[in-house]
Amino acid sequence: MSSSSRSESNGPCQLPCSGINQSDSPAPHEPSIVGTLEPQSGTISHSVTPTVVPFRRLVVQAWQAYKCRWGVTFGILLLALVCAGVIGFLIEAPLQGAASSLALASGLPYVGYALCVVFLILNLIVSLLQLIVQVFLLVGVVRCLLSIAKGERTRIYMLFSGGRKLPQALGGTFLFLGTTLAVMLLLVGGIVGPLDAMSQRVDVHSSDAWPYVAGFTVWGVVWFLILVCFAVTFGFFLPVLIERKCGIWESFRVSRRITRGNRFVLSALVVLFLMVAFGIAAGAIWLINALVSANTTPFTVAAVLASIVLSFYLLFVVAVIVPYSAVLYVTAYLAMSGQEPDLQGTESTRVAQTVPPK
């Protein structure tokens, strides 16, 4: 349906909780089209329009989607986490029993080495099964988050509807984790080598070592940003696989295309999330340990108060930051692929949008 017929039948779409007119076209300087990715060999059902999305617009759209559906988002993530834990325990329980039996039989002659090999094989099989279950649930979570970001109704069964996309999702996950691990090993080598050379030339604890320490710190930050940029470049392969008819390689190609022009914004969001979720918590834990080590009553009371504040902060991270980041992930995909999230999501609007134009 064309945009004109939709505007005539539905009128302007008001965003809930914000009063923003969604039908208004964005400012000319905000989204810029960097190219159109047409389907190749029938792998993609329709064309993709990579779009550069401003930082503020992306954050606001994700916040509107999360604020109006925060209960559903948190419930889906919590249910997926519980299911993954329960199924993982049921898979690992037989391994624990087998390990006990193997430990009793390991005292027999010429049996210990063979039992160790059998135990390693069983452990590998259990880890593989747990990964399959986690990817299966991850596909369902992303599908639910896409429905939330689009303003559609989210059903519980969608969390367990990842069977048809499971082979492609498993292949893409193995490929993404393998390449990310390879890049990480290269980065570790690029950091450890200069660090070893620096430790041989100068004492890092001396006052003359600050230029070397500063240079090494900058070098480590640069390599970390390279890893983050690589991850955000190909990290949207999963929603591409779920939403479109494409293969593994095509999903990575689409992810690379839609993130072009958005990688700086996405990398900044990843770094900001890591700082908020882990950096502040790590700093607070270090402060609490320092206060406890002082071994005086005022510092002990301060450590207790800091622990209480840290507990509430961790609860805030789990209940707000993590679900919002999940919604932000799919919202970024929709915006970068040229799809405007429908934050109203009412039944009347969805029915009206399915009426063909006259």
pLDDT tens sequence across 116-166? 677 778 778 888 888 899 999 999 999 999 998 888 888 888 889 888 889
Given pLDDT bands bounded at 50, 70 and 90, which one contains residue 61?
Answer: confident
Which pLDDT does position 9 carry in this prediction? 41
For residue 280, is it within any domain?
yes
For residue 350, is it within any domain?
no
How is residue 43 written in tokens? 């792998």
- Return the C-alpha torsion angle 168, 172, 178, 181, nearest 10: -150
Instruction: Work out how many domains the chain is built from and give that number.
Output: 1
Higher per-residue pLDDT: 82 or 194: 82
Given pLDDT bands bounded at 50, 70 and 90, which one contains residue 114?
Answer: low
- Percent of the chain at pLDDT exceeding 70: 67
27-54 pLDDT, tens digit each: 443 444 344 444 433 333 446 778 888 8
For residue 18, is it within any domain?
no
Q: Kindly tell me if the per-residue pLDDT of 263 is higher than 80.
A: yes
Given pLDDT bands bounded at 50, 70 and 90, which one contains residue 349?
Answer: very low
- Return d(Cα 300, Cα 289) in angstroms, integer: 10
Lowest mean pLDDT among 30-34, 81-85, 216-220, 261-265: 30-34
How is residue 3 written in tokens? 């945009």
Which pLDDT does position 216 carry in this prediction? 72
For residue 186, is it within any domain?
yes
Lowest mean pLDDT among 191-200, 308-317, 323-332: 191-200
Lowest mean pLDDT among 147-151, 189-193, 227-231, 267-271: 189-193
**Beta-bridge mates of residue 52:** 32
- Return d(Cα 243, Cα 93) in angstroms, integer: 35
For residue 36, is it within any domain?
no
Q: Kindly tell me if the per-residue pLDDT of 353 is higher than 60.
A: no
How many angstroms from the chain centroid is the CA of residue 195? 31
Lowest mean pLDDT among 2-11, 194-203, 291-300: 2-11
Tell me what the pLDDT averaged over the chain comes to: 75
For residue 351, is it within any domain?
no
Given pLDDT bands bounded at 50, 70 and 90, which one contains residue 245?
Answer: confident
Given pLDDT bands bounded at 50, 70 and 90, which one contains residue 346?
Answer: very low
Residue-range definition of the domain harbouring residue 131: 23-27+43-341
For residue 106, is it within any domain?
yes
Residue written as tokens 């069977």?
163
At residue 322's C-alpha, the angle toward residues 321 and 327, to 5°, is: 95
For residue 300, is it within any domain?
yes
> Do 27 and 311 meet the contact criterion of CB atoms below 8 Å apart?
no
Q: Is the dihedral of CA 261, 262, 263, 265 positive or negative?
A: positive
